[in-house]
Structure 1
Amino acid sequence: MAPLEYDVADLGLAAAGVRRVEWAERAMPALRRVRERFAAERPLDGLRVAACMHVTAETANLLRTLAAGGADIALAASNPMSTQDDTAAALVAEYGVEVFARAGMDPATYDRNLAAVLERRPHLLLDDGCDLVNIAHLERPELIEEAFGGCEQTTTGVIRLRRMSAEGALKLPMVAVNDTATKRMFDNRYGTGQSTIDGILRATNAMLAGRTVVVAGFGHCGSGLAERARGMGARVVVTEVDPVKALDAVMQGFTVLPMEQAARVGDVLVTVTGNRDVIRAEHIAALKDGAVLANSGHFDVEIDLAALESLAVEVRREVRPHTDEYVLADGRRVVLLAEGRLVNLGAAEGHPAAVMDMSFSGQALTVAWLARNRGTLEPGVHEVPADIDTEVARLELDALGVGIDALTPGQQDYLNSWRP
């Protein structure tokens, strides 16, 4: 067997990484059961998998599951600030995964690492933001001949894939694992809600009770964040462009304002939309002294960083870990967290392992489904089969020791018939 190729910070961190991975595994019972099944059935034997994901302990447990199923895996980081160097070392030294990721790497290294995993000529692409798929289509179209599908686990990535599909540019069947009911409920709503608050508190040590928190975007992630901020005693203001979501926020008791007005009252402003330039120069110019800006959308484009730089007369880097302070011409200070990147991963550890247990169980089962259906799926964006989502929920309930009712034959007949 050829030696593994990798680019990690320090293999000497592997022992610490193993401890971190094993700690996360304790809270991932459903994925552990999937791994046991994969080890017995080997559904991925002989398949090469390229992944662009956050290099965290939870991701490591997903990749261990895929490896147990027979996959050869190469992993690149999907965010330079989210990589846990000890986890990366453990994946290489202990779990046999080729990893190309270092915490804090520059954009050139990030691009080089994405190219490295694609050099493995993967059969399956596991993406987090559509970067691998984008590069394969625009720069390495010959790879599409060997690849037969993949998964996308972010809202931003699914939006990109749907646009590619609508334009006839998507040449692979890609499964929107982001869009399952279990992921939207647990990962997006509960996971993003809690981990975003965690990142803000670690970076600032701020008190949220009695403060005004502005949440830009009231989708699954934004609604979860708004709920958690309100639960900590904050006054929560929501900004939205979708009338239906804005109405939903109003009916849940949140104040809804245009960003132009929200920027004037917010103490902490968090973007979670999947779009760019949500907080722009005119909004930055209206901020209160000491206002905190954070982003929990996938890419660092939701806050106009160029505008922030241009408006500042002084930048004080790292006034606290993951916290930069920008001083405007009139002396007002604006605090930016995690360089405008994902604050829950840049300033904290991302979602709790219990949340990722369901997301990654669904993703592992979807990868096996793709392998079984190789060559039968048309290019485009596919939904996760409903039975997989149901199975994930059942695995999690079983692991939690929770029992539920089953339909009686009479109830099943009633639901399946229109006759009285």
Structure 2
Amino acid sequence: MDIGSAKLEWVAQRMEVINTLVKKYEAEQPLKGVKVAVSVHLEAKTGYLALSIAKLGADVTVTGSNPLSTQDEIVAELKKRGLRVNAERTHDVSVYENNLQKTLDFKPNVIVDDGADLTVTAHEKRKEVLENLWGVCEETTSGVKRIKALENFNKLAVPAILVNDAATKHLFDNRYGTGQSVWDSIMRNTNMNIAEKRVVVAGYGWCGKGVAMRAKGLGARVIVTEVDEVKSLEAFMDGFEVMPMKKAAEIGDIFVTVTGNTDVIRAEHFEKMKDGAILTNAGHFDVEVSVSDLKKVATSSREARPNVTEYVVNGKRLYLIGEGRLVNLAAADGHPVEIMDLSFAVQLLSVLKIARDHEKMEAKTYAVPPEIDYEIASTKLKLLGIEIDTLTEKQKKYLNSW
């Protein structure tokens, strides 16, 4: 069996929203001659997004957005199918960064990004690329933060559509996608029972809510750590314990960071943890669990299982999955295909918007237009065979009156 081909065929059958949109727009070839660079965690669903963009006429090049989330069999299959690909699974960050540079050599008109590495590299190191760049579509929370920072410091040179903030992205991808895929990875890499465990979820944004919800469903006792007062209160109202990490570190069995920040779990926490604690990160960058701190305080380390490293700290064994990188992608297959069908539909339609309207757009961040959310949600409901009510003229008039 050709694994890359089989994986792509599997997702092709299940990404029905993307298929419907491609069928709708393919005849007019709206992206003909447009150079699109796709820099997203490179696995089968991303590969299918890239192929779908190409079907609409675009000249596509593909790279990864994380050194360990790239699946080499998908790279090989995309090359077979005629796409330009600069990516490989690697532990060497310099190899990853070199692939970003090669992708920017393509001088894209549109960047489909996840984490903003390609966007930031263009702005900081390859400014000549900005001359041909019409705009960026950013996939994830961490990337949105970076692009907003560029904007706040007047460094953003092109329009950027914040795909992550679309309702049909964050309400489903961040919550249901992260919630399921994180636990899929933890369970397949540890073969441990989740019920009976104390699970510590650091961060109660949409991703944290999903992780906590699924942990509760698996029977875990869930603790949430937060720095935001409103989210802390929300977590408590949702039925979870809330406490600082310094207290949670002493009692947690499994830790999942989903904050988008750095050093969420660090030396002072490792030293308090009990024997056998499992450490994972579900934020985009490998900075939330401080691996450098862990290596400093550990007296020894070894590979305990594939994707699992054991560190001995104060005579206690701590286990880190996926080197502290995105646990659901560095050590598993990422979000469910039906979830990414929605997210990548937002990306696809956002690329179409930039291609169509970039000359009228300013160098600033943009929300995904509501009509894109409605088109995707409407398409998905039809595919599910679900009918909903519509407003009567009297109801419309009432809602618009004072």
Normalising by the smaller structure, the TM-score range is over 0.9
The answer to whether the Cα contact below 8 Å between 1:25 and 1:353 also exists between their aligned partners in 2 is no
CA-to-aligned-CA distance 1:395-417 (integer Å, 9 cap, x gap): 11111111111111111111122
What residue is the counterpart of 1:132 in the other structure?
118
1:352 aligns with 2:339: no
Deviation at 1:104, TM superposition (A): 2.6
1:114 alignment partner, SS class = helix
Matches within 5 A, 1:321-360: 321-328=306-313, 330-360=314-344
What residue is the counterpart of 1:4 in the other structure?
none
CA-to-aligned-CA distance 1:165-220 (integer Å, 9 cap, x gap): 01101011000000011111110000000000011111101111011000000000
For 2:151, the aligned partner's letter is S
What residue is the counterpart of 1:9 in the other structure?
none
The answer to whether the Cα contact below 8 Å between 1:152 and 1:177 also exists between their aligned partners in 2 is yes
What residue is the counterpart of 2:383 in the other structure?
399
For 2:4, the aligned partner's letter is G
1:25 alignment partner, SS class = helix
1:260 aligns with 2:246: yes
Matches within 5 A, 1:3-402: 15-94=2-81, 96-317=82-303, 319-328=304-313, 330-402=314-386
CA-to-aligned-CA distance 1:206-251 (integer Å, 9 cap, x gap): 1110110000000000011000000000000000000000000000
What residue is the counterpart of 1:8 in the other structure?
none
2:85 alignment partner, SS class = strand
Structure 2, gaps ≥5 residues long: none
CA-to-aligned-CA distance 1:359-384 (integer Å, 9 cap, x gap): 01111011101111021101111100
Deviation at 1:105, TM superposition (A): 4.5
Deviation at 1:154, TM superposition (A): 0.7
For 2:282, the aligned partner's letter is S
CA-to-aligned-CA distance 1:32-86 (integer Å, 9 cap, x gap): 0111123212111101111211111111111111101111111111112111211
2-structure distance, mates of 1:62, 1:147: 20
1:83 alignment partner, SS class = coil
How high is the TM-score relative to the length of structure 2? 0.98
CA-to-aligned-CA distance 1:229-282 (integer Å, 9 cap, x gap): 000000000000000000000001100000000000100011000000000100
The answer to whether the Cα contact below 8 Å between 2:264 and 2:288 also exists between their aligned partners in 1 is yes
The answer to whether the Cα contact below 8 Å between 2:250 and 2:274 also exists between their aligned partners in 1 is yes
Query: Please, what is the CA RMSD of the aligned residues?
Result: 1.0
Quote the sequence identity (%): 48
Flag as ranges the 4+ runs of structure 1 deviating above 4 A: none
- How many residue pairs were aligned? 402
The answer to whether the Cα contact below 8 Å between 2:39 and 2:63 also exists between their aligned partners in 1 is yes
The answer to whether the Cα contact below 8 Å between 2:90 and 2:96 also exists between their aligned partners in 1 is no
For 1:372, the aligned partner's letter is R
Deviation at 1:127, TM superposition (A): 0.9
2-structure distance, mates of 1:322, 1:240: 28
For 2:318, the aligned partner's letter is V
2-structure distance, mates of 1:396, 1:68: 21
For 1:414, the aligned partner's letter is Y
